[in-house]
Structure 1
Amino acid sequence: MDVEAELIPSLQVKLQESKTTAEWFRNRSRCNFSNRLPPELLSRIFHLALDNHSCAKNYYCGTETRADSVYPIVLSQVCSYWRKVAFSTPVLWAHIDLSTSATLNQLRLNRLAKLHLDLAGGIPLNLHVFDSRKYPMSPFSPCDPLHSLIVQLSGRAYSLNLDAGQDYDCTIHGGILSALFEGAVAGRLATITMSHEDIYHSVIKGKDHISADPEDVRVNLLTEQLEEILSGVVVLHLNRIYPQWNSRAFHGLAELRLRDMYSSVHIKEAEFVGILRLSPRLRILELGVEIDDPLPTNARVTGVPLESLEILDLSGTRCCWHAIILRWLNPGSNPLQFKLYRGTCENLETKISLGPFLSRSNITRVFETGLNLLHILDLLELCPNLQEMVVSWVNACATNPLQIEDTGRISLTRLECLYVTGSSVHVEDIIALMNVPTFTVKTAVFYDCILLHGDIRIPIDQEETQLEELRRSNPDVTCIWWTNVSSPVESWNASNRRDEGHV
């Protein structure tokens, strides 16, 4: 025992030497590839890695998580070189999260926000206020400490995001939204995101506006003051909370998203066209609204040139409005991504509703849900530059074989890639598509699908056999494969990237 006791000091010395060596290797060794990267490149990698991870909402809407586990703090814990680069890159810390729950703010987010503010320096901020399912929201008033903090931070914000949930409260969330606008600086604020998941919708109005619905948000600013702030916005994401349709918020936009609004939100066709004409450089357009007072279907209209349009998403709009909306859109020569959805009971006459628009657009990528086989073949016929198609929930079984045979005589676009996504995919539907004589595709990829054959799930150990049969019957297809990773479709959407261009 005495001998072992005498060995302890020497072992402690050796342990410390080993720890020192390991620390040196991790922090300074030139053999470590990450330590050989220039700080400018490493900081850019950090910025890309933080995409969709820097928001605290991801961590506080279910299970409890330590505040220091939220990016970008973890980057500073890898080694001293990473810590130095992370702490000296202000843009990594520009995202500030606050909650509608005073408890969550006191326990976690206030400390995190202070750290981000210290390291962000004087650059513009991305201010995000969100609901947490685990922490109930707190009452809100001008006397609340959160009010003064929001007003202070929004004065530095280039981006404001009010992210309410299903428990939307017009008094609480409206008060927070008012505070966000009270502190905002006209000309600095460029991006606004406002959303809630309640069944109602709210219109934002100034305090001097005469008429107001109980669900409307009355901002503690005069209408002209509010309009001055909104007039500088170029990116607008709205979900059931929106300015009046004649607001200057809809002037000069590069990106407009009206999401999940069709069940209760209406816009007159003339108002919609007015927004298009006042935003000629629109790059991304997503619509989920109902159209009021439409012109007759056969009315002659003068389309709106949208030379910069790159993404058009009508997946939130009922098929009956497609022709009315699309007749106004004249995209330029840019490659265009087009997304649409057909409900189970909806009728879609592809060539009538979509044909004129498709023929004057350079559509290279289509993401469709709920279309039958004839719809897909029509899209291939009408989009000669189509390169990639995403098919989710296709129904070939309900299609008349004679109609398919007639369509199959028409020359169709050769696809570079066919992506098949969705929880359940019938193999016979895909076979029916691939067996159309003039349909050709280079690569077919099944992303995270449950493969069915005759409404019966194909066992996992037999999925490869089914795909092998597809390969044999379609020798022109270079590759057919299945993967359990999530579909890359969402990453195609340019709006999902961080607003890095504003800071």
Structure 2
Amino acid sequence: MLDELRSASDALNAALDRYLDICTSIRQHYCKGDNNVSRDLEGLSLIANEVLLITSFKTKIHQADAAISLVRNTMPTVVPINALPEEILSRIFHLVTYGEPCKFHHTYEYPAYPTLLTHVCSRWRQAAINSPTLWSHIDLSSHGFRGSGEPHERHLAHAKTYLARAGQAQLDIHVAEDFPHGLYVHDVRISDFLIPLASRMRSLEIHIELESDNRPDAYKSGYTLCDDILSCCLIICTPGTLKHLMIAPKGDGNGSFIQSRDVPEDTIVGDWSPKSTLDIDMKEQELEGLLFPITRLRLSGRFPHWSSRAYHGLTELRLYPHGSITRIPDFQFTTMLAESPQLEIFEFGLDIDRSVSRPPPVHMNNLRVLVINTDALNAFLPLIALGPQPIAVSLTKPRSLYLTGRTLVKKHPQVGPFLSSCNITDFYARDFETLLEISYLVDSMPNLRTLALNIRDAVGHLDARPEERLFASRISLDILYLVGQIQIHYDNLVIMLKEYHVKKLVLGWDFAINSDIGFGLVTRKDVEEEMTDLGVDVEFYSPLDTHPTDYFGHTFASYESSLI
């Protein structure tokens, strides 16, 4: 076949040379003197037809070019990635597809991958379609099951395409809603769609956003949808297959405990009896058998009872207050942690009810990410003891201290000793009001390598500690993140960069660096030039980029995605 190609190519080259010579001669003949082709009717018709033929020749040449280029692009010497076996190529596709959190929302703006991978070339398309687990993440919205029109049809078609390509692979179901985008009532269509899939669910994420100014019926809509999905799926999910459960209704409203239909209505949980429960049509033993194998729990608004085996054997646990469920007794809190000795990621935002006899602290020797959002620091910190392992810590200033003028270290003096006892390599300080507060905390972290700041006021001068160094010079930072709509005084920034020996500075898209005479550095070019003089690399990120602090796992509170 290659000999035929060589022969045809030689013949085509010779024919094109002859054809070009003839066309050139005709032009020279008819474009000089009195030899006008318009007087030759036969020649006029032939020339007109020839122009059409040349167009068809171009089309055929383009088709031949596409065919040969396709073959060329499969050659490993030309495109080295094609030297990889399909199994490795598929693995790379998985890393690209799941390397960033899913940002699907009710607007039907789906992630680009893996669909985009099928548009590159036939080999990539084949490798992607032949990888069922690449298509196992299914994004859904109840709006796609109601109404009509192109967006609804596209939503259903998208889900069905993914399901077809996923084959019999275990599924990660992600339901995202925003109310009152369209108020939800009991609708069997989304339930009918989910029921056949429930036995294959490896992950179920329900993400419902309810803004505080929404109507009360919007809150009811959100909880109705959440409860409908849980009620229809949990009774069918396969114990041991379901490994990850995320329930995240954002907004005001009553929280509920998830329980079996067999639990008496007057059940007391600790010292508190819930006003409402979500009763699942399962026996208590069946429900506990389903929840026990789960290894990742991220919960807000809907919780298994604190004594449930759902909290045993976890590697990730995130608990946020919601509505009427904002507290946990200290003895149930420590029991929960003790039953998950392999816990790696822990995010906590509840209050703690302290008993007369405080339980001993739980040793968390495998923890690598700790996110603290609780106001109950005095009760929380004595109940946990971290090991010598490197750890990333995110700390949000307690809401009770906002705009009070009181600093964290004065209100909660045990914070400093706790931080000093940990091997903190990454620290995210969120919602603090001044850089001065940060400096006291960071002094407690000699092994710190990455620092992220999201603070309210970084403009005022750091001159409140005249008799001691503002920052601990023993610290050497690889990266300093300034995130959010931060304004920072230029002098403060220079102090931080020098005293922390910062190698790289990462700024958000809406940064502002001020000076005593106004805005000092207002463009990226200004910042880059100044940082070059200081010997610091600088990067910028936009709202479309993965948030730099996703590493800290703090994004569940604001419903951005977190660690995967």
Same fold (TM over 0.5): yes
Match among 369, 376, 381 for residue 326 of structure 1? 381
Q: Deviations for 1:15-72, whole angstroms, at most 9, x for unmatched residues? A: 13313422442465222344344322321221122137795x72x633x66x8x8532
- Alpha-carbon separation, structure 1, partners of 2:121 and 2:472: 61
What is the deviation of 1:262? 8.6
Moved more, 371-380 or 123-132: 371-380
Unmatched 5+ stretches in structure 2: 1-43, 211-217, 267-273, 555-560
**Contact conserved, 2:424 with 2:445, CA < 8 A, in 1?**
yes
**What does 1:308-387 align with in structure 2 at a 5 Å threshold?**
308-314=366-372, 316-318=373-375, 321-342=376-397, 343=399, 344-345=402-403, 347-349=407-409, 352-371=413-432, 372-387=434-449
**SS of residue paired to 1:403:** coil
Matching residue within 149, 160, 174 for 2:227: 174
Q: Which runs of 5+ in 1 are unaligned?
A: none
Per the alignment, residue 123 of structure 1 pairs with: 169
Q: 1:13 to 1:466 in 2, by over 3 A?
A: closer
Residues 1:184 and 1:429: Cα distance change in structure 2 (over 3 Å): farther
2:361 corresponds, among 298, 303, 320, to: 303
Task: Identify if the C-alpha distance between structure 1 residues 43 and 406 changes in structure 2 by more than 3 Å, giving closer, same or farther.
Answer: same
User: Aligned match of 1:479 in 521, 525, 536?
Assistant: 536
Corresponding residue for residue 89 of structure 1: 131
Is residue 219 from structure 1 mapped to residue 263 from structure 2 by the alignment? no
Task: Name the CA shift for 1:135/1:108 in 2 (closer, same or farther; >3 Å).
Answer: farther
| C-alpha distance in 2 between matches for 1:471 and 1:382 | 30
Partner of 2:484: 422
Whether the 8 Å contact between 2:477 and 2:501 is mirrored in structure 1 is yes
How far apart are the structure 1 equivalents of 2:483 and 2:179? 29
Q: CA–CA distance in 2 between the matches of 1:211 and 1:238?
A: 23
Aligned to 2:291: 230
Contact 2:248–2:300 at 8 Å: present in 1 too?
yes
Question: 2-side partners of 1:325 and 1:45: how far apart?
Answer: 42
Alpha-carbon offset, residue 114 of structure 1: 2.8
Q: Counterpart of 1:452?
A: 514
Q: Is the 8 A contact 1:27 1:80 kept in 2?
A: no
Which of 37, 41, 61 is the aligned partner of 1:17?
A: 61
Match of 2:85 among 17, 38, 44: 38
Change in Cα spacing, 1:133 to 1:139, as seen in structure 2 (3 Å) is closer
CA distance in structure 2 between the partners assigned to 1:140 and 1:27 by the alignment: 54
Of residues 322, 341, 365, the one that matches 1:280 is: 341
Larger radius of gyration: 2
Query: How far does the alpha carbon of each residue in 1:377-401 deviate from its partner, in whole angstroms, 9 at most, with x for none?
Result: 3233211211111122264666883
Residue of structure 2 equivalent to 1:259? 320
| Structure-2 change in CA distance of 1:14 and 1:32 (3 Å) | farther
Judged with a 3 Å threshold, the aligned counterparts in structure 2 of structure 1 residues 490 and 382 are, in CA distance, closer, same or farther, namely closer
**Post-superposition CA distance 1:212-269 (Å, at most 9, x none):** 8665322222332211111111100112222121111111111001236499622222
Change (3 A) 1:396 1:84: closer
**One-letter code of the match for 2:97?**
L
Aligned to 2:193, which of 124, 149, 154? 149
The amino acid across from 2:378 in the alignment is A
Q: Work out whether residues 389 and 419 of structure 1, in 8 Å CA contact, stay in contact via their aligned partners in 2.
A: yes
Gap change, CA 1:27 and 1:111, over 3 Å in 2 = farther
Provide the TM-score with structure 1 as the length reference: 0.83
Q: 1:40 to 1:399 in 2, by over 3 A?
A: same
**1:490 partner amino acid:** T
Q: CA deviation at 1:311?
A: 0.2
Q: CA deviation at 1:157?
A: 1.0
Q: 2:196 and 2:532 mapped to 1: Cα distance?
A: 61
